[in-house]
Chain A
Amino acid sequence: MKFDRKANARERMKFVRLWAEYVRTHPDRDWSGQQKILIDSMMQSARSWKWKPEDYLRMKGEI
């Protein structure tokens, strides 16, 4: 099966519109409570990475 990048981008943008409408029309504590679950789990995952600063900067193309 071929990955359709354009269709994927369209789907993602559709979700962005729906979620933005949810954020706009719901109390801050409602959407931000849901967002916290996602962001905190990403932060916990990032903490387990044992990267050296120079490896990270190299990956970013900064050294």
Chain B
Amino acid sequence: MQFTGKRTIKLDKVKTELDSFLMDFIRILEKHTKYVIISGYVSILFGRTRGTEDIDVIIERMDKAKFGAMHSELKKSGFYCLNADELDDIYEQLSEKTAVRFAKKGQVIPNIELKFAKTPLDNETLRENLTVLMPFGKLIISQIEQQIAFKRHVLKSDKDLEDARHLENVFKDFIDKRKIENYRKMIA
């Protein structure tokens, strides 16, 4: 992997089934809204040897009509929402609660945990992102420093601390430690 710009990483990765699942979803999502992938999948993308049952994605808040168009396309492509069938219910959950989950029909795992950007930190994550270019497509992910800060100082499970250490070691020549500290203060 190599940085080809301040916010672009080229990754010559072999595609996994998890990547295929995510790419199918993202190819639809990106036609309708801005997005950013956060948390466990980011560590896995850069080599962590673990699976995950869900992939966390933040999107810009959108009105029901716009979300409906995206939902309709997701359904046509074989995705369904685990939380509800009707658009009104899904949109209400997404707007009022934290997230809704989408999986391929007949499955519950893996799934995409989708949430609207609601907090200043969510909006910062959407804005200050990284683009990862791979042979099979492009993904937008959160800043590595933000992932490290969040996993180390907020989530703090063994798995999250391991994810943080993995990212810190893999990106040790590129990481800005002041940024990790700034994110830690922002999150605290």
Contacts and interface: CB of A to CB of B under 8 A. Distances in A.
Interface of A: 9, 12-13, 16-17, 19-21, 23-24, 27-29, 31-36, 38-40, 42-44, 46-47, 49, 51-53, 56-57, 62
B107 interface: yes
B169 interface: yes
B46 interface: yes
Cβ-closest 6 pairs across A and B:
A20-B169, A42-B51, A23-B47, A53-B82, A28-B12, A43-B17
A24 B172 contact: yes
A57 B102 CA distance: 12
A39 to B, nearest CB: 4
B83 A57 contact: yes
A29 B12 contact: yes
A49 B109 contact: yes
A56 B106 CA distance: 13
Interface residues of B, number: 35
Contacts of B128: none
Nearest to B85: A53
Contacts of B83: 53, 57, 62
B162 interface: yes
Interface string B26-55: 000000000000000000101111110100
Contacts of A12: 158, 162
B170 A51 contact: no
B64 interface: no
A51 B83 CA distance: 14
Given A20-B166, A43-B110, A29 B49 contact: no
Nearest to B81: A53
Contacts of A38: 49-51
Given A42-B51, A51-B109, A20 B17 contact: no
A23 B109 contact: no
B108 interface: yes
B109 A39 contact: no
